[in-house]
Structure 1
Amino acid sequence: LRNQLTSNIYSINNNDTKSPLVIFLHGSGERGFNNNMPLLANDIPKKVYNYIKKMGAGVLVVPQTTWSADMTGWFRSEFQEGLMQLINKIIVEYSINRNRVYLIGLSNGASASWYLAQKYPDLFTAVIPCSGYVYNEGKKFLGEKGQGRYMEPTDEEAKKLLNVPIWAFHAEDDPTVNVLGTKLIVEKIKKFEGNNVKETIYPEGVVVPNPHASWSLAFKENNVLDWLFSQDKEKVGWTENNYEY
């Protein structure tokens, strides 16, 4: 049970069309054995649920990793594998529109979102990572754990993300994950002429009382969910043959 991935799934479909799918990845603080924790730590799942309810169609998945003494969370391979199995199962069972699979991640979940987006760029339609960095196996951490730790992005990672619409959020004075975790990957993507990425960096003293929680302001942006749900691979010519995950 300690390695088991649990999840909350909310489905709404009032119009008999294929549904968009949103996967919400929590941060390290929401690891555990009570799958309500990712729902209670912030109001983002509730905002997404209310949004899809208003649209009349959508599926929201809020999975949870179990607790461990370390802070690896979504970095553990068994959870990544379990998550991908869950996503693939939901796509089939809930009649998901494969052109509209969205990923939101906070902190540890944001770093996992960067990782998953570059590993499966043909799966995720758009990504919103808040206060993260591009995690990947074999890379060294820079900075101390809980004190501005992050990983430097590689050219290869940036190139894989060129066609993935991304809106990244971070606070300049984040004490937990260095803001360079966001700035450097956005800079690299743009260096390779990727035009589907944008960032919102909040100045020092704006995200209070916890500067790590950039998501507390990110989802107060009136158009952030409008932007997310407007992304559709069909608009750029994707077909079923494009999917290779």
Structure 2
Amino acid sequence: MKNAFCLLFCIVSINIFTAQQTNEKFIIEEQYLKYLPEQYEEDLDKKWPLLIFLHGSGERGTDIEKVKLHGPPMLVEKGKHFPFIIISPQAKIRWDENVLHQIITNFIENNRVDTDRIYLTGLSLGGHGTWNLAQKYPEMFAAIAPICGWGNIEKAWKLRHMPVWCFHGELDTVVPLSASKNMINALRPINPKVKFTVYPEIYHDAWKQAYNNPKLYDWFLKQKKHTHKAIKLPLKTLMQYVGTYDFEMGNFKTKSIVSVEDGKLVIKTGQSTTPLIPSSKDTFFINKNQLIEYKFIKNKKGVVDKILFYYDDIYTMPKSKD
């Protein structure tokens, strides 16, 4: 399992060997453990699911051996075999979402990864990192499992299509149970694929039970990255969305015109005309692999009066009154 990668920002292999894991390092001084399934070299055409594990605050620093104290890296050290690749980065002080994204992106380019099945999990500080990384790059992951972490409820909408299994100890005094509850409560109204396991009489080490539960890994392997599924809508349904809507993004203001052309809904903003593809009776997308969406909202009278535009933020586009 000797590895030597050469890339624009250069990855250098460090020859520290364990039974099944090697220590990999970026020249930007970010280290990670890598685990490859036993059968990885048997079929050179096969692509494998990838699990990213983010450790807690106690494992920060530059001693990569600390990362093996908990979670999947610990289980690998004890001889457990997994049916997917695992990479376990080490943070010096805190998790940096941009650096993590670079690590994962580079790893994908240099290894046989099934990009429809990339999973993310972490404990405590790593649970926080799991929420944050998934919220910043939701299109990268097929599912996440944050454990006793905390997230940003204002960004919960970015995970509206993400399968989530969250774990927490009921008696946790380091990161209170409410931290996970707040995220789950923000997600449940918009995401039917949310699971929440609370361990009674468990304090901050909920990860012990969570990572020793084989059902977690079975659940991961059943998940695939979200892609929008197109449906057909009758012309009568499409016609109720026709109109002019006010669009504002910062200092930029314009009008967007929604119309039906050749039996399909389109939106025109400036010189750009974009087909809108229905995924439900009131929600439309423009690319099956992007999370950009347009959701038409009706008022109490049952008349469409605005669009919710999901992009880097949620933009409200009220129907023009002039």
Alignment of 1:66-77 (within 5 A): 66=92, 68=93, 73-74=94-95
2: CA distance between counterparts of 1:201 and 1:110?
15
- In proportion to residue count, which structure has more strand? 2
What's the TM-score once normalised by structure 2's chain length? 0.58
Q: Secondary structure at the match of 1:212?
A: coil
Name which structure has the greater RCO, CA cutoff 8 Å, separation 6+: 1
Describe the superposition over 1:92-127 as per-residue Cα deviations: whole angstroms up to 9, x where unpaired.
110211100010100001011001111111111111
Describe the superposition over 1:17-53 as per-residue Cα deviations: whole angstroms up to 9, x where unpaired.
11111110000000011111111x225324468342x
Contact 1:104 1:127 in 2 (8 A): yes
Contact 1:123 1:243 in 2 (8 A): no
- In proportion to residue count, which structure has more helix? 1
Tell me the C-alpha RMSD between the 2 structures: 2.5
Q: Secondary structure at the match of 1:164?
A: coil
1:197 aligns with 2:194: yes
The verdict on how the C-alpha distance between 1:103 and 1:179 changes in structure 2, with shifts beyond 3 A counting, is: same
Contact 2:120 2:145 in 1 (8 A): yes
1:19 aligns with 2:11: no
**Structure 2 partner of 1:150:** none
Paired residue type of 1:197 = V
The partner residue of 1:185 within 183, 186, 190 is 183
**Structure 1 partner of 2:145:** 128
1:175 aligns with 2:173: yes
**Structure 1 partner of 2:282:** none
Contact 2:228 2:289 in 1 (8 A): no
Paired residues, number: 203
Pairwise CA distance, 1:243: 6.0
Paired residue type of 1:50 = K
1: CA distance between counterparts of 2:159 and 2:48?
24
1:50 aligns with 2:80: yes
Pairwise CA distance, 1:221: 2.5
1: CA distance between counterparts of 2:105 and 2:111?
10
The verdict on how the C-alpha distance between 1:234 and 1:159 changes in structure 2, with shifts beyond 3 A counting, is: closer
Pairwise CA distance, 1:185: 1.0
The partner residue of 1:92 within 102, 109, 117 is 109
- Unaligned ranges ≥5, structure 2: 1-25, 231-286, 292-322
- Unaligned ranges ≥5, structure 1: 136-152
The verdict on how the C-alpha distance between 1:129 and 1:161 changes in structure 2, with shifts beyond 3 A counting, is: same
Contact 2:168 2:177 in 1 (8 A): yes
Percent identity between matched residues is 33
